[in-house]
Amino acid sequence: MSGPRPKTCDACGRGIAPSAVYYRFTLVLEGEQDVLDPSGGGSAGEDLAALLKQLEEGPESPQELEDQVHWERSGVVCSACRSMVVRTLAAPPEPARPH
C-alpha cells in the first residue's frame, strides 16, 4: 500500500509535504451583463441583432469568446498561498467604482 500522491501548490509550484495542511479550491468566473448598451438607438431586438453580427464578424474564435464568459479552475494551494488568495479576494476597504 502506497501513501498519498505528492501534491504541488497550483499558485507557487512548490511541493506540499504529505504531512502538511493544504487547501482545495474551486474558482468559477462567469461573465454577466444586466443591460445592453442603449447607444445604438434601436429596439432591444435590433441592438441584440447588431451585437450578434459584431461578434460573428470579430476576430475572436467562438472558443475565445466562450473563455471570456466562463472560466473555471480547481486545485490545491499551500498555507502561504492560501493567505495571499484570501487577501486578494477579500472585500475592498472602500466601495469600488465601476471599471
- How far is it, in rounded angstroms, from Cα 14 to Cα 78? 8
Summarize pLDDT for 39-91 with one digit per residue, the tens: 656 677 787 788 788 888 888 888 888 888 899 999 999 999 999 999 988 87
* Residue 97 grid cell: 467604482
Q: Is 5 helix (H, G, I), strand (E, B) or coil?
A: coil
Nearest partner of 21 among 73, 82, 78, 84, judged by Cα: 78
- The tally of CA atoms less than 13 A away on the side-chain side of residue 36 is 15
Which pLDDT score, from 0 to 100, does residue 40 have? 57
Stretch 7-32: mean pLDDT: 95
pTM tops 0.85, yes or no: no
The pLDDT value recorded for residue 92 is 75
Residue 96 pLDDT exceeds 70: no
Residue written as grid cell 431586438: 45
- The type of residue at 7 is K
Compute φ and ψ for 53, nearest 5 degrees.
Answer: -65, -45
Supply the DSSP symbol for 97.
Answer: P
